[in-house]
Structures are given as structure tokens and as C-alpha cells.
Structure 1
């Protein structure tokens, strides 16, 4: 076997950086196979299963195969949903292996000039700077409110885009102006006797494109008996970086967030986005080799909770009168909320407590919807294939409201509703928005 210079460099880093013990933990038992969306959607192709990908990583680590395009492609097609982890009898941390392998490949990729420029803009120029995020999203606000959106649609410009992107444009929420994003206070008092002090991780997209959902989150926490503080110096969680081979930038963001939160002495750190929460709760692994931050990261992650979990623990559903107009609701799990943060009972309990709503569990609600960060953009064919099957399960529930706990999942389900022509009869909402609706 002859390797290129690039392949030799990648193989060397695999042997040095990949956790051999974790690779060996995989017993090849196959329990992960029924839980893997890409394994199923590719017609049971072993190279697109967790077991198969780990075997490829181990073979590269041992120098038995070259880290060629086929290996890299197998890793790229993975959704990173981590559904394999809860069902693994050996407890293999597949997500950690995947991120390390992707990071190694990214370190040695010679990106085309346009791709390199886009990655630099997104990973370095945009997401780590909340002011720039606010400015960018405010341009979307201008597009929506100025009449330009209607003109663009009327002239058919959207038809020039790939179908999934044009559909995504249709389902984008009405975003606030930059002034509206800036006017929120940093501290909030409980609306009843205070039981808990929490720090709110507002996120980058959540605090811009989904700003109103963040406002709803604050209100619910107040109603549940929480005093809330929002650290001004917090930043992007780094999930997009960590999943895309930009681990060094993810570590930098993690350190900034730990610095921002640790002096607040809050009882808990709350997030309302499953994808963010899963990466935040993994900071202890991300920084495990950093002598200055390893212990601080452990304390940070020990305080992480999803909004549904803290509401559940504070008996919000038992102490509040929740009621909505008659409707059938179903729940689509956020993969990372369920598989990494292990939060599945809390959101369902909250939903079942809403009067006027009939809760219907969806078949395979724990299976990925195909959003997976930017997966629905870079791997659109596979993403839409997964989404179409997901919508079959949605329709079987006869639900009129699909509830999610992650912004990417929310947009993906909205796209699914559009693709199925159900926009007049079915809606998708974040659980926080539905709970606040039920409080009124």
C-alpha cells in the first residue's frame, strides 16, 4: 500500500491523536445499526454505520488502510446525531471519535479558494462575534420588512436556488431589528418566591433569528421561580466549529464561555437549544488536556441543564395552569438533547400537562430529522431523504402541532411541512413558545 504525502501525514496524526482505547471499546456487536439513520438510508451500507466508521478509523490509526476520499466521505455523511451512544453496551463515545477524525482531515485539506474564504468568514469572522451576528440577521429583518422579500419571490428569484434552500427561505421566522435585539436587560427577577438562580446561555442564532423564543424562555424561568442573569461576554458555543473540523476555534470559544459564566455563582446554566447544550456539556472532554481549564470545564458542565429539564424539576407543569386551543401535538426529539444530555422525559411530561391538547407520540421520534447543523445544506439529498421519511411518521400521528427543542430541528420540520403541502393545517413550534402560549 502506497500513501500520498498528505495521507501519510493524516495517518500519523490518527495514530497520535485518536483515542485507541475508545476505538478498541467498540465490540462490533451491531447494536448501533438500527439506530443509525445513514446506515438505514443507504440500504444498510456498513461504511455508513457507527461500527463501520469506527472500523475505518481504527484501520487508519493502525496504518492498515490509507485515509483516502472514501474514508473521509464516510465521516462526512455521518449526521453526528450520536443515536448510537445510548444503545452501545460498551459506552463508546462515538461523537468524540468523529470530531477528532474530522478535525484531523480538516487540518490537512487544501480547500479551494472560495471554500476557504467561506469557512474563514463563517468560523472566524461571523459566529464568534455576536455583534456581527446581530448585524447580519438585521439585514434579514430589512429583507423581510422592506417588501424586498415579496418582490424577490414574485420575480421568481427563489426558483434559481436549490429547492431545499428556496423552501428554507419560506419558513424563516420573522426576525427582530438590531434595536430589538439590543434592548433586553441582563438580569431578571423571579415572578414569585425565588427558588433558583440561573445563568442563561442565549446562543448566537437563538438570540438573533429566534430572539423571541429566548424572551419566552426568560419569562418561563421567571414564572418557575428563577432569578436570571445573562452574561454579556458569552459567545457562540462552538458546536458548528467542533463538528466541522475547527476544533482549535471551538476550544477558544469554550474558554471564553467558561470565563463569562464561572464568576456568576449560578445554581445552573440554562440553554434552550439541544445542539448547543450537547456541545456545552462536552466542554469537560474538549478541554480535558488543558491544565488551566480542565477542572473549570468540569464545574461548568456540571451546571448545564436544558430549559425543559429545569422546568420539570421545579414542577412548573404542576404549579401552572397550562391550556391551549384543541389540537393534536407530537414531539420530535432533538438528537443531541436526547442522546448527549439524556433529556427525554422532561419535554414529554411538560407537553402532556397542557390542557386542551392531545399528545400523540410519534413513531421513531428519537430518530434524526436530517437537520444536523448545516448538514441539510451540505448534504441536502440525504437530509431531504431522511426528512421525507420523518414526515411519514408525523402524518401518521394526525398532529396539527409539531414540537421541537432545537432551532435547526424547528426549521427542518417547517421545511418538511412545506414539502408535504401541509402549511395550512400543521405548524412547527419550539416547546418554549408553546408553553408560554399555554400560560396565557
Structure 2
């Protein structure tokens, strides 16, 4: 295979011909709306990919438009020819990564973050424990009083303000690997804890386990599970993502479960696409297909529990901000709304444009902070129009982004943002048994 053929295969050149340049994707694309440039629309990016594959444009020409894509996949929901935009985007990112010249420091930093930090449960636990110490020791107060967060890179100081309170290290250490409350159990599920989710939103993960137990299920947490690989794929590190997929497939194969449950829209979207990482017909491809057949978002599982009811009224007006990846990739749309509507006392006001991205998109809001805020401002205008007490979402990145949006609007005393799981547990669920 020559260099041109290798480039065309890696960048998914053959899939670009499915795009007929009709423009149906334009109104659905957040970056086209906020940046108002054809190169920052799905069809524009696909055309650039095609030109690069044909040697009519350089990889450098492709880099900025591709990196500014949120990857929300809203375009795929309106495409009349079923263009596999996600695979084209991933291929383009991999080619860009291959062509980038990076300093030794940058390479070593990325190797640590993607090779050691995110895939390691120990490192994620240390991050959570350090955050707890930072919050409880008075260090956070000191740092903020001296305005030191303003010097943080990538605007991380802005996100420091909206991090949830962390549990004590002892609470993390007490977590078990297997839980069962009702015998016989109604079923057995494995819980995918995620990396950022388990580090920053540990208590939401604990609440997820509690909801599953109250539903009568046995819950296991496989020892050797790791990061889903979404952050790696978003950064063009497809081979690293593939290795993480193998580790997760193997870890969950060791447990005979009915479902593999996740509570993060981005993680779930990556998990159900594992088969695309392997050659069709290969043993890993077949194992990946068996793996993804069991993937379920927590809302899907709970919505299917017969006799589930909520016993504590919550008198609150809420709106639901869907995770793009959960909606557009996993195809999970109605279960979260069905569950919210079951809670007594809750008034649900739906957004005018619920499918418009919030601007989080993995680590997009860190790397492309200003562009993400333009998208967030559109979202917050919609949110403020329904005057909710709470914004409900189903993904850690979305949750932090919505908290940031509330902060930017100066609406901290008027509304908050929380994960669907936390709202459901607050409503005291139980299964009414015959």
C-alpha cells in the first residue's frame, strides 16, 4: 500500500462520497451557527477531508476546521444519506495527529495524560482526594482570595469554581466490588464507572449504584475496567483508544451480566462504537459486538424497571439538557424524560432547542474555551427562557458546562445543575412489589 492509499484509508476517503453537499446539516451544526463559516460546517469539513485525500489541500488546511468541530453528531440525525460523519471525523483527527510536530515536553505531557493518567483508577482517585483536600483544608479559599486561579492554564480556574464537593478519601476506599440487597436479584448488571466521572462525580456514581440496588439488581464493578477511550479518540489517538477498548471488553467479559450500565453520555457513546475500532470479521470485532449488545444508560435500565415509583415529592421546576452523544450516538432520548415526569411535584419545562450542544464536547471547552462559550451562550439563552430551578443532564462534561453557564449568567441563587441520577435518588425511589 502506497502513502496515498494509506492516507485515504485512514481518513475514510471512501465514506466522503456519501455526502451529497445538500446542506441539511447546516441548521443543525452549532459551530456553523456561531462561526458562520462553510469550512466549520459538516459538509465543509467533509469536502476538506476529500481534498486532502486527493492531494488538493494540505493536512494543515484541515486542522483548524476539524479541531473546532464539537463532535456532537447533530448533523448525523438530519443527514438524508446517512453519512458516517463520526468515522470521517475520527479518521481526520488521526491523520492530523500523525502530521503534527510537537515538542518533547508536549509529547511527554500527552503520553502521561493519555497513557497513564486517564486510564488509571489510582490516578483518578488521587485527583479526587487531592480535590477534597484542596476544598476542605482552606487552600481553595486562599487561592481564590489571592486570585491565583486566574493564572491557571486553559481557563481551568473557571472550572475550579464549579467543581462539586468531593467525598473524603475514606469514603472512596470503602467502595466494594459487588453489591446485592434483594435475593433473588431481579438481574445482574456491571457498572462502568468511567474515569472523570468516578474522580470528580464519585457521589453520583455511588448514587447510581444505590438506584440499581433499589431496583432489585445485583451490581458488580469489574476490577480491570479503564477509561472508555473517548478522550483519546477525540485527540486523534485512535490506537490508544483501541487498546483501552480491548482492556474493557476483556474486563467485562469476565462477568456474566445482563447489562453493562453507564451514567455518562460521552462514555456510553464511545462504548457502543467499539466495534468500529476493529477489522470486520476479526475475533476482536466479534467480541466488541457482544460487548456493545449489553451497553445501557442508567436511564434505560430504570425506565424498564416494573413497579418503580418515586415516593418523595420534589416541588421544583426543571429543564432537561440532553447529552449530545447520548442522544445522537446512543439514541437514548425518552427514558430520562419519562423518569423525570414520574417524580411527584416536579414541573418539567422543555427547552426550545434541546438538541443544541452546550459546548462541552469532551475537553473542547478546555482546549477551545472561547469558541465553547459562544455555543454555551446560545444554550443559556434557551435555558433562561424557561426559568428553571434546576438543569438536569446526564454527562459530566455537560454538567460542568451548565454550572459554568449558570455562573456566567450570575444565576447561582436562582438555579442549579445536577445529574439525573442525583435527582432520582433525592425523590426516594422504590419498587412496588406484588
Which of 70, 77, 87 is residue 86 of structure 1 equivalent to?
A: 77
Alignment CA distance shift 1:163-1:424 (3 Å):
farther
Query: What aligned pairs does 1:408-419 form with structure 2 within 5 A after superposition?
Result: 408-419=397-408
What SS class does the counterpart of residue 208 from structure 1 fall into? helix
TM alignment of 1:136-151, pairs within 5 A: 136-151=127-142
Match of 2:42 among 47, 50, 62: 50
What runs of 5+ residues in structure 1 fail to find an aligned partner? 1-7
- 1:400 and 2:389 matched: yes
What's the CA shift string for 1:80-129, capped at 9, x where partnerless? 11111121121112111111110111022111333223211211121121
- In structure 2, what is the equivalent of residue 228 of structure 1? 219
Match for 1:245 among 228, 236, 249? 236
Matched, 1:295 2:286: yes
What TM-score do you get using the length of structure 1 for normalisation? 0.93
The equivalent residue for 1:18 is: 11
- Distance in 1 (CA, whole Å) between partners of 2:5 and 2:369 is 32
- Taking a change above 3 Å as real, the CA distance of residues 243 and 322 of structure 1, as seen in their structure-2 partners, is farther
Query: Which piece of structure 1 moves more, 13-22 or 339-348?
Result: 13-22
Contact 2:59–2:99 (8 Å) recurs in 1: no
Structure 1 residue corresponding to 2:32, chosen from 39, 44, 51: 39
- Alignment partner of 1:363 is 2:352: yes
1:236-265 deviation digits (Å, cap 9, x = unpaired): 111100110111111111000001001211
Cα distance, 1:165 vs structure 2? 2.9
**1:322 CA drift (Å):** 4.3
Q: Could you tell me how far apart the structure 2 residues matched to 1:112 and 1:290 are?
A: 39
The residue that corresponds to 1:61 in the other structure is 53
Per the TM alignment, residue 59 of structure 1 is displaced from its structure 2 partner at its CA by 1.4
For residues 253-272 of structure 1, what are the structure 2 equivalents within 5 Å? Answer: 253-272=244-263
Matches within 5 A, 1:68-83: 68=60, 70-83=61-74
Alpha-carbon distance in 2 for matches of 1:40, 1:412: 19
Deviation string, structure 1 residues 196-242 (Cα, Å, up to 9, x no partner) = 21111011111121110011001111112211111011011111001
Structure 2 distance, partners of 1:151, 1:408, is 26
- For the residues of structure 2 that align with 1:331 and 1:247, how far apart are their CA atoms? 32
| Contact residue 186 and residue 232 of structure 1 kept, 8 A | yes
C-alpha separation in 2, matches of 1:163 and 1:235: 26
Larger deviation, residues 271-280 vs 284-293: 284-293
The CA RMSD over aligned residues, in Å, is: 1.8
TM-score, structure 2 as length reference: 0.95
Moved more, 125-134 or 111-120: 111-120
Post-superposition shift, 1:190?
Answer: 4.3
Q: Which moved more, 1:208-217 or 1:105-114?
A: 105-114
The residue that corresponds to 2:409 in the other structure is: 420
In structure 1, distance between residues paired with 2:9 and 2:199? 40
Q: Which residue of 1 aligns with 2:317?
A: 328
Is 1:218 aligned to 2:209, yes or no?
yes
* 2:316 alignment partner, SS class: strand
SS where residue 216 of structure 1 aligns? helix
- Runs of 4+ in structure 1 displaced over 6 angstroms? none
Aligned to 2:432: none
Count how many residue pairs are aligned between Structure 1 and Structure 2.
428
Q: Of 375, 398, 422, which residue of structure 2 is paired with 1:433?
A: 422
Deviations 1:153-185 (A, max 9, x none): 112212334795322111101122333222111
Task: Give distance in 2, aligned partners of 1:296 and 1:90.
Answer: 29
